[in-house]
Amino acid sequence: MQSFDNREGLMIYQNRLSSPQDLSGWVMEGKGKDSFPEGRLHLENELDPELYGDDAHFVYWCPETFPDGIIIKWDFYPIREPGLCMIFFAASGRNGEDLFDRKLAERTGKYPEYHSGDINTLHLSYFRHKHADERAFRTCNLRKSRGFHLVEEGADPLPPAADALPPYRMRLVKDGPYIHFSINGLSILEWTDDGRRFGPVYGGGKIGFRQMAPLKAAYSNFEVRTLLRG
């Protein structure tokens, strides 16, 4: 796996995620609740998943459109299980529209709207503690959509929330066809898109955080840098 320790370039976005002002312009799809104890963004579901099922899940989008060739980093704090965390990146309309173009179908947090709707995106699930089989054999999964294509898996080192010693520093690299993900400097997975099997290589786009209820988690120190050429 490649090393990216000396390839972090210009900071193009930085957000401590420490107050409501920091989230100005962010777009919530679904019924998620945010709060800021200890100066961190805490996210949890507003709707009871026992009553509302998939309607209880949500996605929170950063409003910026990012280029290709970037390093994405954030601090992650698991608080309450069960649940699942995911990051969407390189997200846009299937015909190149901005993700928030009104021509696109409304999205409300239900997963099929994101993997089989009218958007293209890459999405990485990195805390898969929702279902019994996910907790019994924990992996991080990288998918390419539209189409829900599972393109790569890696072992998930994150413990249950009760045993966690956060923050866990996440780093996700998007460099054209190449994707690399690490936690606290430990390489978890990498994948190179051949641009044929699952359609053309995706470029830039939006970044969003997804949670599946009833998980509660916190986030801080979100930043995006350009990637220096190796």
Tell me, what's the pLDDT at 142? 98
Least confident of 35-39, 49-53, 109-113, 226-230: 226-230
Using DSSP, state whether 212 is helix, strand or coil.
strand
User: Can you give the pTM of this predicted structure?
Assistant: 0.96
Average pLDDT, stretch 145-162? 96
Tell me, what's the pLDDT at 147? 93
Burial class (CB in 10 A: 0-12, 13-18, 19+), 165: exposed
Give the CA count within 13 Å in the CB-facing half-sphere of 181. 28
- Read off the amino acid at residue 38: E
**Is the model's pLDDT at 5 over the cut of 80?**
no
Tokens of 122: 């890459």
Is residue 120 very low, low, confident or very high in pLDDT (cuts 50, 70, 90)?
A: very high
**Is the model's pLDDT at 2 over the cut of 70?**
no
Average pLDDT, stretch 192-208? 97
User: What gap in Å lies between CA 132 and CA 137, rounded to an integer?
Assistant: 9
Residue 18 DSSP class: -
Least confident of 130-144, 190-204, 206-220: 130-144
Tell me, what's the pLDDT at 98? 98
Tell me, what's the pLDDT at 112? 95
* Mean pLDDT, the chain, whole residue set: 96
User: Which domains, ranges and CATH numbers included, belong to the chain?
Assistant: 8-227 (2.60.120.200)
Is residue 229 very low, low, confident or very high in pLDDT (cuts 50, 70, 90)?
A: confident
User: pLDDT over 90 for what percent of the chain?
Assistant: 93
Summarize pLDDT for 86-114 with one digit per residue, the tens. Answer: 999 999 999 999 999 999 999 999 999 99
Summarize pLDDT for 6-44 with one digit per residue, the tens. Answer: 889 999 999 999 999 999 999 999 999 999 999 999 999
**Is the model's pLDDT at 195 over the cut of 70?**
yes
Which residues is 80 bridged to in the sheet?
216
User: What gap in Å lies between CA 2 and CA 209, rounded to an integer?
Assistant: 25
User: What gap in Å lies between CA 182 and CA 77, rounded to an integer?
Assistant: 15
Tell me, what's the pLDDT at 1? 60
